[in-house]
Structure 1
Amino acid sequence: MTAVSLLRSVAAPKKALAGAALAAATCGTLIAAAPAQAATSASSAQATAKKMIGDSAEYQCFSRIVDHESDWNVNATNSSSGAYGLVQALPGSKMASAGSDWKTNAATQIEWGLDYMKDRYGSACDAWSFWQANGWY
Structure 2
Amino acid sequence: MSRISVRGFAVASATAVTAVGSVVGVASGSTAQSNNDAEATASGTTLLADIPAGQQAQVQTASLTQQADAQAIAADADAKKEAAEAARKAAAKTAIAKKKQADAAARKAAEDARERAEAKKAASRSATRDASSFSVQSSYSVAQIQAMARQMVPSGQFQCFSNIVDHESSWNYKAVNASSGAYGLFQALPAGKYASAGADWQTNPATQIKWGLNYMNDRYGSPCDAWSFWQANHWY
TM score, norm. by length of structure 1: 0.69
CA distance in 1, matches of 2:203, 2:235: 23
Letter in 1 for 2:233: N
Is 1:49 the counterpart of 2:149? The answer is yes
What secondary structure is seen at the aligned counterpart in 2 of 1:72? coil
CA distance in 2, matches of 1:69, 1:90: 12
Letter in 2 for 1:74: Y
Instruction: Indicate the RMSD between aligned Cα atoms, in angstroms.
Output: 1.3
What secondary structure is seen at the aligned counterpart in 1 of 2:203? coil
CA distance in 2, matches of 1:54, 1:48: 12
Partner of 1:4: none
Fraction of identical pairs, as percent: 66
What secondary structure is seen at the aligned counterpart in 1 of 2:184? coil
Q: How does 1:1-137 map to 2 (within 5 A)?
A: 41-55=141-155, 57-137=156-236
Deviations 1:37-81 (A, max 9, x none): x9x6111110000000132x3000000000000000000011111
Poorly superposed stretches of 4+, deviation over 2 Å: none
CA distance in 2, matches of 1:42, 1:83: 19
Letter in 2 for 1:49: A
Letter in 2 for 1:116: Y
Greater relative contact order: 1 or 2 (C-alpha under 8 angstroms, separation 6 or more)?
Answer: 1
CA distance in 1, matches of 2:168, 2:196: 20
Aligned residues: 98
Gap runs ≥5 in structure 2: 1-138
TM score, norm. by length of structure 2: 0.40
